[in-house]
DNA sequence: GGTAGCGGGTATGTGCTCGG
DNA sequence: CCGAGCACATACCCGCTACC
């Protein structure tokens, strides 16, 4: 499905040589593009709430009254070669193939039984599968082979999320400490990764009988939105772990949840991992990047220097991390100084400011208006639910508006000295992909792909290491490959140092380079 | 000087799946 | 058939910088 959007289907391009599935997929992609353009056109003017509601209502009515009306004329003309049913079938086969890709990749596991072992107990990242589906499915290998070549990579990516819930349950059950650890998440966070990752799953399974999942289809109704689903402070003993409503996947929770990655197997480190890590560490030895002196950790340290306690340090860290997105470290540091000068760096004082006052203080950082709103909201939440201290867990931090996965991971580590995951920002995401360590679209995918091979003792280091490296050498545009000590193991660096004229020549990752590197590593 | 692009998160709209 | 909910794409927010 998603792969279809990537199929090389430039408008007007010849369709010759495409398989039926590819053609159907590319037409579907075209339709999506056109419809999103329509959406954009409709979205241009500002709408009042009632107008927006009316649009939604009409949209619903259109859907109910028949989807074929939405087809573009060109598509209708081509209906003989790609009927709606064809597209549906193609899409369904892609989805089924994606779900079973884990078994395709590891055919020895489970003796090539493609059917899900837990029909009726959907897990995160796994589509709801019926007996009918199970019967329909051919072997995973066959399913994958039947895919258009252009979408195979997409299936590979999707498979990273396809997690066998039974396997996770078995692991969780084997780990006796995990469910006890859930109620005091603080205690488990520094222990083995499997434990901290599985604890929420185990508890959820124990209390509900199944994993609440990202499964498609109808599901237990979610009660309330953000406020209703905000997890109670577990460290304080509040709330009931595993309550289905508490864990209900609102949009953001889905985007930020760790569970769908929980049971991904470890993978071997990429070729020359140790060489690259050592080289980057050497290049960062001076610790003279902006992030070193003005990053979030530095803001926390400054709070302590100024006579604050741990609580003040943590609040400074949260504020700094919320301000830091889309903002240079210099600007973040300057803004933090303004907040210090105004003596509002505590939840009590900051919550007493109006949004307008806060907006003025934040002027200079990106999106200062939004951030002012989010900060005020965060302060109120902190005071109301967390006793004036920042939330202690990843799950609770990402409940705060304006706090995403990266920020939550940084805040948990810098503020509470615990590791729940590596913090992947744009630098880590870019560099990991540039080195071909991962092939991912989003930072959260990168986070979990990297965690699969990165030794846990390095989790704390990678963010600061790579952010500084990305600021100084491995820059987004025009990376300084000639100054990089790791360029010999980097596809981009190798090409650049071989005489490419500019970054544009090397910005497209080279498959053969990767293959060469992998072969080199194997030869060793 | 104008413009394109970057960056992280939120909000919204759409087609679609699936259970009741 | 309907509605809940999912996956996905995209607009938007804003300041800054690089490039033409």
DSSP A183-195: HTHHHHTTS-HHH
CB A260 within 8 A of CB A163: yes
Which residue segments constitute the domains of chain A, with CATH numbers given?
A: 266-285+423-514 (1.10.1670.10), 308-420 (1.10.340.30)
CB A431 within 8 A of CB A466: yes
pLDDT of A475 higher than 60: yes
Place of tokens 């304080």: A236
Give dist(CA A235, CA A330) in Å, integer: 35
Question: Tokens in use for A275?
Answer: 């060489």
Condensed to tens digits (0 to 9), the pLDDT of residues A393-426 reads 887 787 777 777 777 888 888 888 888 888 777 7
Give dist(CA A256, CA A420) in Å, integer: 13
Q: What is the pLDDT of residue A41?
A: 38
**Which nucleotide is closest to the Cα of A54 by its C1'?**
B13
The whole-number Å distance from A473's CA to C16's C1' is: 19
Q: What is the pLDDT of residue A347?
A: 87
Mean pLDDT of the region A214-231: 28
**Proximity of residue A443 CB to strand B below 7 A:** yes
Q: What is the pLDDT of residue A282?
A: 87
**Which nucleotide is closest to the Cα of A89 by its C1'?**
B16
**Proximity of residue A87 CB to strand B below 7 A:** yes
Helix extents (H) in A80-210 = 84-99, 101-105, 131-136, 140-145, 149-159, 165-174, 176-183, 185-188, 193-208
**Proximity of residue A56 CB to strand B below 7 A:** yes
* Crossing angle for the helix pair A405-416 and A443-451, to the nearest 10 degrees: 50
| SS3 state at A116 | coil
Instruction: Of A131, A140, A66, give the one whose Cα is nearest residue A96.
Output: A140
Cα separations in angstroms, A454 against A37, A100, A156, A450, A470: 41, 26, 21, 6, 18
**Which nucleotide is closest to the Cα of A216 by its C1'?**
C6
Condensed to tens digits (0 to 9), the pLDDT of residues A434-448 reads 787 877 666 777 777
Condensed to tens digits (0 to 9), the pLDDT of residues A120-134 reads 222 222 222 222 233
**Proximity of residue A366 CB to strand B below 7 A:** yes
The whole-number Å distance from A64's CA to C2's C1' is: 9
The whole-number Å distance from A18's CA to B19's C1' is: 36
State phi, psi for A220 to the nearest 5 degrees.
-55, 135
Q: What is the pLDDT of residue A264?
A: 57
Nucleotides of chain B touched by protein CB (<7 A): 6-20
**Proximity of residue A368 CB to strand B below 7 A:** no
Give dist(CA A113, CA A135) in Å, integer: 11
Q: What is the pLDDT of residue A163?
A: 32
**Proximity of residue A478 CB to strand B below 7 A:** no
Which residues of A are designated catalytic? 406
Condensed to tens digits (0 to 9), the pLDDT of residues A59-96 reads 333 333 322 222 333 333 333 333 333 333 333 333 33
CB A285 within 8 A of CB A470: no
State phi, psi for A110 to the nearest 5 degrees.
75, 15
**Which nucleotide is closest to the Cα of A43 by its C1'?**
C11
| SS3 state at A433 | helix
**Proximity of residue A35 CB to strand B below 7 A:** yes
CB A409 within 8 A of CB A421: yes
Cα separations in angstroms, A501 against A480, A495, A506: 13, 10, 9
Question: Which residue ranges have CB below 7 A from strand C?
Answer: A 1-2, 5, 32-33, 36-37, 39-40, 43-44, 60, 64, 125, 158, 214-222, 249, 251, 254, 326, 328, 331, 363-370, 477-478
Condensed to tens digits (0 to 9), the pLDDT of residues A20-29 reads 333 333 333 3
Q: What is the pLDDT of residue A339?
A: 84
Instruction: Give the global pTM.
Output: 0.51
pLDDT of A520 higher than 60: no
* Crossing angle for the helix pair A368-385 and A310-324, to the nearest 10 degrees: 150
Higher pLDDT, A209 or A274: A274
Higher pLDDT, A58 or A495: A495
Higher pLDDT, A192 or A459: A459
Higher pLDDT, A335 or A158: A335
Cα separations in angstroms, A7 against A3, A15, A19, A153, A439: 7, 11, 12, 11, 17
Mean pLDDT of the region A270-296: 82
**Which nucleotide is closest to the Cα of A35 by its C1'?**
B14
The whole-number Å distance from A355's CA to B11's C1' is: 20
pLDDT of A141 higher than 50: no
Question: Tokens in use for A158?
Answer: 């999707």
Q: Look up the protein residue whose alpha carbon has the minimum distance to the C1' of B17.
A: A217
Share of chain A above pLDDT 70, in %: 41
Residues sharing a CB contact under 8 Å with residue A355, sequence separation 6 or more, in sequence order:
A372, A373, A376
Mean pLDDT of the region A452-470: 84
Q: Look up the protein residue whose alpha carbon has the minimum distance to the C1' of C11.
A: A40
Q: Look up the protein residue whose alpha carbon has the minimum distance to the C1' of B18.
A: A217
Cα separations in angstroms, A411 against A43, A47, A370: 35, 36, 20
Question: Tokens in use for A130?
Answer: 């019926």
Protein chain A, residues 116-155, with a C-beta closer than 7 Å to any atom of nucleic acid strand B = 127-130, 133
Question: Tokens in use for A307?
Answer: 């006579």
pLDDT of A314 higher than 60: yes
The whole-number Å distance from A222's CA to C4's C1' is: 10
Protein chain A, residues 215-234, with a C-beta closer than 7 Å to any atom of nucleic acid strand B = 216-218
Give dist(CA A430, CA A156) in Å, integer: 20
pLDDT of A105 higher than 70: no
Helix (H) / strand (E) containing A302: helix A296-305
Higher pLDDT, A499 or A390: A390
Condensed to tens digits (0 to 9), the pLDDT of residues A339-357 reads 888 888 888 888 888 877 7
Nucleotides of chain C touched by protein CB (<7 A): 2-19
The whole-number Å distance from A300's CA to C14's C1' is: 26
Average pLDDT, chain A: 54
The whole-number Å distance from A387's CA to B19's C1' is: 42
CB A429 within 8 A of CB A443: yes
Q: What is the CA radius of gyration of chain A?
A: 25
Instruction: Of A484, A485, A483, A479, give the one whose Cα is nearest residue A502.
Output: A479
Q: What is the pLDDT of residue A126?
A: 28
Mean pLDDT of the region A448-455: 84
The whole-number Å distance from A113's CA to B8's C1' is: 41
Mean pLDDT of the region A157-162: 32
The whole-number Å distance from A31's CA to C9's C1' is: 12
CB A400 within 8 A of CB A391: yes
Q: How confident is the model at residue A285 (pLDDT cuts 50, 70, 90)?
A: confident
Mean pLDDT of the region A248-254: 39
Residues found in chain A = 524
Condensed to tens digits (0 to 9), the pLDDT of residues A364-390 reads 676 777 777 778 878 888 888 888 888
Residues sharing a CB contact under 8 Å with residue A524, sequence separation 6 or more, in sequence order:
none
Higher pLDDT, A255 or A42: A255
Q: How confident is the model at residue A497 (pLDDT cuts 50, 70, 90)?
A: low
| SS3 state at A363 | strand
């Amino acid at each position: 499905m998603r792969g279809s959007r990537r199929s090389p289907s430039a408008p007007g391009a010849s369709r010759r040589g495409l398989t039926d599935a590819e053609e159907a997929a590319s037409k579907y992609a075209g339709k999506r593009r056109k419809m999103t353009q329509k959406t954009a056109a409709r979205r241009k003017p500002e709408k009042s709430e009632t107008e927006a509601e009316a649009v939604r209502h009409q949209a619903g009515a259109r859907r109910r009254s028949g989807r074929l009306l939405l087809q573009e004329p060109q598509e209708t003309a081509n209906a003989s070669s790609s009927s709606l049913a064809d597209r549906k079938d193609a899409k369904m086969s892609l989805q089924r193939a994606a779900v079973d890709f884990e078994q395709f990749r590891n055919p020895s596991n489970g003796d090539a039984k493609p059917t899900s072992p837990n029909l009726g107990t959907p897990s995160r990242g796994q589509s709801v599968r019926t007996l009918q589906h199970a019967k329909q499915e051919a072997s995973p290998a066959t399913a994958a082979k039947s895919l258009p070549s252009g979408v195979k990579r997409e299936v590979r990516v999707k498979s990273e999320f396809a997690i066998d819930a039974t396997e996770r349950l078995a692991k969780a059950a084997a780990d006796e400490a995990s469910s006890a650890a859930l109620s005091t998440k603080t205690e488990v966070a520094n222990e083995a990764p499997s434990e901290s990752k599985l604890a929420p799953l185990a508890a959820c399974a124990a209390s509900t009988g199944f994993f609440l999942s990202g499964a498609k289809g109808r599901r237990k109704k979610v009660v309330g939105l953000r406020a209703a689903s905000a997890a109670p402070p577990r460290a304080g003993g509040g709330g009931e772990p595993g309550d289905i409503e508490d864990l209900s996947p609102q949009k953001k929770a889905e985007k930020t949840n760790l569970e769908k990655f929980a049971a991904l197997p470890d993978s071997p480190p990429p070729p020359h991992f140790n060489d690259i890590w050592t080289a980057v560490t050497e290049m960062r030895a001076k610790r003279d990047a902006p992030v070193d002196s003005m990053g979030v950790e530095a803001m926390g340290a400054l709070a302590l220097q100024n006579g604050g306690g741990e609580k003040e340090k943590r609040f400074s860290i949260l504020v700094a991390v919320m301000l830091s997105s889309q903002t240079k470290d210099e600007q973040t540091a300057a803004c933090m100084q303004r907040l210090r000068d105004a003596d509002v760096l505590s939840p009590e004082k900051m919550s007493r400011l109006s949004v307008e006052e806060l907006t003025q203080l934040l002027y200079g950082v990106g999106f200062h208006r939004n951030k002012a709103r989010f900060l005020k909201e965060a302060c109120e939440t902190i005071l109301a639910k967390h006793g004036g201290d920042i939330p202690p867990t990843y799950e609770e931090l990402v409940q705060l508006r304006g706090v995403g996965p990266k920020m939550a991971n940084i805040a948990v580590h810098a503020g509470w000295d615990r590791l729940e995951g590596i913090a992947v920002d744009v630098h880590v995401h870019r560099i990991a992909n540039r080195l071909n360590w991962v092939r991912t679209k989003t930072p959260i995918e990168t986070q979990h792909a990297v965690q699969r091979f990165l030794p846990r003792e390095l989790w704390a280091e990678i963010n600061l290491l790579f952010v500084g490296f990305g600021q100084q050498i491995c820059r987004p545009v025009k990376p300084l490959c000639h100054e990089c000590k790791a360029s010999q193991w980097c596809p981009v660096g190798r090409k650049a140092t071989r005489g490419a004229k500019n970054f544009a020549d090397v910005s497209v990752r080279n498959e053969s380079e990767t293959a060469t590197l992998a072969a080199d590593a194997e030869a060793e």
